[in-house]
Amino acid sequence: MPIALPFKECPIETHSFPTNNSPIAKTTLIATHMKILERLIQSRKNSVATAAAMALAALTLFSTSCSDSATEMAETVEPTKIVFISGIPSHPSGQHEFRAGVILLARALEEQSGLPLEIAIAHHGWPEDESIFDGAKAVIIYSDGNARHPVNEHEAKMDELVDNGVGLMCMHYGVEVPKGEQGEYFKKWIGGHYEAAYSANPHWSPEVELNADHPISRGVPGFSANDEWYYNMRWASPKTAADIVTGTPTRENINRYVHWNQFAEKLLGTKQTIMWAVERPDGGRGIGFTGGHWHRNWAIDDFRKVVLNAIAWVADIEVPESGVSSEAITEAQLNENLDEKKQMLHVALPSEADLTQPAAKPVPYKWPGMPKP
């Protein structure tokens, strides 16, 4: 007569066996079961007794080995710490929603990804208490740039973190700093940066392509998103960054010109880098991502996934083969935690209409600080 054993997969325990992992506890458990086993075998009144004895022996081995492996896993897996810095409020409602965007990404990583992570967040600029960086494997900055960049006046601390192998990822306007000393830092830290009068920031809707050979692209076949995709970065020389996400700007897919110059115009119709990654000599990693202007785009699954993959990668976490998992973002969630602005707008989910906006008329060259004729 077969006996159905009430086994569950490890590490769930369904029996009141000792959980102490010491050699004494293991010996006591095995000895107790062996005595029961001996009595059952001696009785041998029927096949049920024999089967029960065999089952109990298997259960003894299973429970002890399962307890061992579960305990060892719990002892060896330590969460990887990632620090987010969201920038100060900026732009009209629904744009540059750094605080709300960081909260969505942090929730996805800490509560939905299944990865062993510890998330710390400093909202609205550089943290007052720099101990937040203790033990961090990566820093993610989603903010304005130039004079409003969180790293301003904190370059020495950021450089110290980088020199110690801490990963750094900057998103959207956070990739823009002035050329010169700050620009050189960014070339070292993340491989390049947006440079005024050289780079450009139109709003456009590319069919993006991904570098299939890089872990950041795992689980992301491609996507379309209308965003203020910066392009033509000022790279370190020689270029150290690998192109991760690319797209091709054209007159037809640009629906708004913001800052424009002759360099950007000459590159129309050519593939441009809109996310890049670098592995630094210090052992750390760096990433630049130029999207993230429109808050609605976090609800595009593959847009969000490639960013979550990048965050995991820059923190030196193995990106899962299917990419970092997260739950779909609802319209209600998009409208949570928005910064208080003069006129608050409801953020709608992304739609086909975002991608089919009419092409903008060409504009004269213009950028902040442009010399007057």
What is the domain-level CATH number for residue 139? 3.40.50.880
Identify the three-state secondary structure at position 44. Answer: coil
Looking at the structure, do residues 52 and 177 belong to the same domain, yes or no? no
Q: What is the pLDDT of residue 77?
A: 78
Provide the token pair at 121.
Answer: 């967040």
Considering the domain architecture, whether residues 121 and 34 belong to the same structural domain is answered as no
Q: Of the candidates 53, 76, 99, which is a domain's last residue?
A: 76
pLDDT value for 373: 79
Cβ neighbours of 204 (radius 10 Å): 27
Residue range 343-364, pLDDT digits in tens: 999 999 999 999 999 999 999 9
Would residue 348 count as lying in a domain? no
Which residue pairs from 210-213 have beta carbons closer than 8 angstroms and sit at least 24 positions apart in sequence?
210/244, 210/245, 210/246, 210/306, 211/242, 211/243, 211/244, 211/245, 211/246
DSSP assigned state of 284: -
164 and 270 inside one domain: yes
- 50 and 90 in a single domain? The answer is no
* Residue in the structure block whose two tokens are 């830092």: 185
> Domain range for residue 64?
23-76
Q: Is residue 319 domain-shared with residue 232, that is, in the same domain? A: yes
pLDDT score recorded for residue 66: 38
241 and 192 Cβ atoms separated by less than 8 Å: yes
Look at residue 2 and tell me if it is in a domain: no
Note whether 181 and 268 are same-domain residues: yes
User: Same domain for 120 and 179?
Assistant: yes
Residues lower than pLDDT 70 in the chain: 1-76
- pLDDT number for residue 372: 81
Structural domains in the chain (count): 2
Q: What angle, rounded to 10 degrees, do the helices at 301-314 and 98-107 form? A: 80
Nearest residue to 151 via CA among 134, 120, 131, 175? 175
Pseudo-torsion of CA 68, 325, 305, 318, nearest 10°? Answer: 10
Report yes or no on 368 lying in a domain. no
pLDDT in tens, 224-247: 999 999 999 999 999 999 999 999
Note whether 153 and 230 are same-domain residues: yes
Q: Which bin fits 316, alpha (ψ -120 to 50), beta or left (φ > 0)?
A: left
